[in-house]
Amino acid sequence: MAQPEPIDALDRKLLRALQRDSAEPISDLAERCGLSRSACSRRIARLAEAGVIERSVALLSQSKLGLGLTVFIAIKTNQHNAAWSSQFQCVVEQLPGILEVHRLGGDIDYLVKAVVPDMPGYDALYQQLIKADLFDVSASFVMETMKHTTELPL
């Protein structure tokens, strides 16, 4: 397997800027990073081709879209097999309020992050989620978000 091309300090500076605002004009990015427009474009293309930049997205306002409740759902299962795992994955992939699903080591098997409008919205999500034949489900509701970022430390 080929070694990935190393990321230098200029790449990191460019990546930090892109994480903050990927819609920033290339001319502004280039100037901030001390590059020509074409050199900046080539670096971005190389980083995207290498998979360092997976995609560019718009981050939306959860509250302005009426999704005021964030919930973390801890799930335990007593079925540790491929068939159940596949069924669970199908269920969570079909639920639009679910943002993240992580399989964990330890006491909890899966941790799910979801956004819903309110408690009735959570109950509707819960009713769909339990179709996956879960053993134990507990939820924690976010009262205050103290830090939220999509920026990876570079």
Question: What integer is the mean pLDDT of 113-120?
Answer: 98
CB atoms under 10 Å from CB of 111, counted, come to: 16
List the domains of the chain with CATH numbers: 9-49 (1.10.10.10), 69-141 (3.30.70.920)
- φ, ψ dihedrals at 106, nearest 5°: 110, -155
Give pLDDT tens digits for 119-134: 999 999 999 999 998 9
Give pLDDT tens digits for 140-150: 999 999 999 99
Give all strands of the β-sheet with 110-116 in edge-to-edge order: 98-103, 110-116, 69-76, 136-141
**Residue for token pair 């990876």:** 152
Name, in order, each residue with C-beta under 8 angstroms of 33's C-beta and a sequence gap of 6 or more.
Answer: 10, 13, 14, 17, 40
Q: What integer pLDDT is reported at residue 5 of this predicted model?
A: 74
Q: How far apart are CA 113 and CA 9, in angstroms?
A: 34
pLDDT of 1 over the 90 cut? no
Collapsing DSSP states into helix, strand and coil, what is residue 109?
coil
Residue 76 pLDDT grade (very low, low, confident, very high; cuts 50, 70, 90): very high
* DSSP codes of every residue in 55-67: ---PPP-TTTTT-
H or E element, residue 41: helix 37-49
Share of the chain above pLDDT 70, in %: 97
Question: What integer is the mean pLDDT of 14-34?
Answer: 95
